[in-house]
Structure 1
């Protein structure tokens, strides 16, 4: 295993031996078959809002590839255990664990490797459905967007808060699925969409009441599973080819370069310094950041209001 350091975060290149270790360690996903021809993968880190570490992503990708080769599976559902789908990447994850996909060394290595994972999902022959509830933020929103169908609970929270402090998405898909104006609002505020708003702008396929999410997702998966896998593969591929003809993949590739560049901005580098050192952590840095906006990690409305008041108070230059 070789390592490459960029922006103060170690990036790891894995060998096949490392890949075996990635899959054989602690399991962060659960698998069941709730209906004929339907596989369901549950991200199982509820205490972390199902934030993704390298192990979880490696296990997820491996299972999706196994499902793609299984003649008894026609469609896969991805959901999150507990109250959230996935709140992004776990920035406190172990740095000595290999990334689940190979990517050439250099600036933007992590961003390119992330996008390769989503392209792999798009290239699967069999469709994947995201069942989204609770927080679906940052990398979690990328995971859902890489799925072919997204079913959202009404109160789900979808967004990319890192634009407030670190940089743009590793996978800048918002303009493609939401349109320019909504994508611009997301990028310039870091605000979340509800499941209802996500369906209205085109990010999600359907929105349903929270209590009906599991049944609605499974019902839709069973309808998809009525079609033979060979036809599903052609049908799915035809939509992706249409988007590729418009330049979607080229744009997503260029987005990883911009994201890597944004990590070198003064504001981003200053913010990420708060991740390390005595008494510091990524969690504390994010809580402080979001207090000004009164969302995500803020649980006390009074504290949020006070933070907003202080942020709006002009400071003397004296």
Structure 2
């Protein structure tokens, strides 16, 4: 593994996103490595609980758009003729890799410090329980342009109105608000984050693995009956469209011309993305 670190201790498997110099941004290797780590933990009889965390200052700052947005031949932006199925196959594979955390027979706890934004929020919200530092931030800023959350977990965790509040603005919220809204299980002071996650893992570690698996399967089945899989299919297709719409191509060209950080600053400042594209302004 090059982007994820896997360790086992005291009946826990620790899956650590390990690109701290890039705030654990998602590269081509990370999604499959997360899934491989989950498989490994599920096959290990000495593991009861999986803890997902990020090395350094942040949990995960989303896809590494220094790679994907600034490169003219970036993986997630095809040429003038877009093949939606090719795009869907690639992104659905990543979505399924993230969602291995949800479908894991063993419970998954996500520990969030710093940021869990964009694709990082997809990873976090695929876990069974999320514990955030009170000052950490979670959100999906690419909802403004160039993205749609492929796991679709915002609506399943928040309900329609608050999911719209987040995805129609691309805003982020802190851990305290996320816990108040029911998006995450708890928010605690940053200095208590690891301790609280370990307390939850301790509590679960005393339950037989088959009991944990049956409770998860029962709860997850209710969500499947609500159409979770079909919602993810639509969300993943929409994600590809957002990156190849006129506005999405405009954003990509802006990033190629002025750099990803300038493009994000334009997006997050609330400045208008020109309908149908338009001239690329100075940042």
TM above 0.5, yes or no, is yes
88-97 vs 180-189, which moves further: 88-97
Paired residue secondary structure (1:263): helix
Matches of 2:87 and 2:63 in 1, distance apart?
19
Aligned residue in 2 for 1:64:
38
Cα distance per residue 1:69-103 (max 9 Å; x no partner):
0000011101111111101011234899999xxxx
Aligned residue in 2 for 1:283:
261
Residue 238 of structure 1 and its aligned partner are, at CA, apart by 0.7
Aligned residue in 1 for 2:111:
131
Aligned residue in 1 for 2:181:
201
TM-score between both structures, scaled by the size of structure 2: 0.85
Counterparts of 1:1-318 in structure 2, within 5 Å, are: 23=1, 27-34=2-9, 36-93=10-67, 105-277=85-257, 280-290=258-268, 292=269
Change (3 A) 1:255 1:56: closer
Residue 236 of structure 1 and its aligned partner are, at CA, apart by 0.8
Residue 113 of structure 1 and its aligned partner are, at CA, apart by 1.8
Task: Kindly indicate whether structure 1 or structure 2 has the higher relative contact order, using CA contacts under 8 Å at least 6 residues apart.
Answer: 2
Matches of 1:193 and 1:163 in 2, distance apart?
14
Cα distance per residue 1:228-256 (max 9 Å; x no partner):
11111111111100111121222122211
How many residue pairs end up in the alignment? 262
Paired residue secondary structure (2:48): strand
TM-score between both structures, scaled by the size of structure 1: 0.76
Paired residue secondary structure (2:168): helix
Matches of 1:63 and 1:177 in 2, distance apart?
25
Residue 203 of structure 1 and its aligned partner are, at CA, apart by 1.3
Tell me how large the CA RMSD over aligned residues is. Answer: 2.5
Residue 205 of structure 1 and its aligned partner are, at CA, apart by 1.1
Gaps of 5+ in 2: 77-83, 273-283
Change (3 A) 1:41 1:97: farther
Whose radius of gyration is greater, 1 or 2? 1
Matches of 2:40 and 2:74 in 1, distance apart?
22
User: Given that residues 38 and 100 in structure 2 are in contact (C-alpha distance below 8 angstroms), is that contact kept between their aligned partners in structure 1?
Assistant: no
